[in-house]
Amino acid sequence: MNNKKFRSYSGCTTCRGHGTDVTVTCPNCVGTGYDPHEDNPFAQCHQCYGEGETTLEICPDCGGSGEAQDPEDE
């Protein structure tokens, strides 16, 4: 076996290798719980319902595989 593409950690850090049901900071309000697209500055975020975080069925970083993806850019 040749470890020519050896990676120190092969698991996705976002979902910790689970791939599914991963809790992330709400991308719509970035954790504030308020919807930035509403005129009312205190409008509750419709995506996380004010929680500031949301659970995704499929991890956005690994696509549900649980394996880390090589970033296209840094």
Residues that bind Zn ion (CB under 5 A): 12, 14-15, 26, 28-29, 45, 47-48, 59, 61-62
Name which of 15 and 74 has its Cβ closer to Zn ion. Answer: 15
Minimum distance of Zn ion from residue 40's CB (angstroms): 14
Residue type, 23: T
Residue closer to Zn ion by CB (options 4, 41) is: 41
Euclidean distance between CA atoms 72 and 23, whole angstroms: 23
C-beta of 49: minimal distance to Zn ion in Å?
A: 8
Rounded distance between C-alpha atoms, residue 28 and residue 46, angstroms: 8
What single-letter amino acid sits at 41?
Answer: P
How many CB atoms neighbour CB 67 within 10 A? 15
DSSP secondary-structure letter at 66?
-
Cβ closest to Zn ion, residue 38 vs residue 73: 38
Residue 56 Cβ vs Zn ion, minimum distance, rounded to whole Å: 9
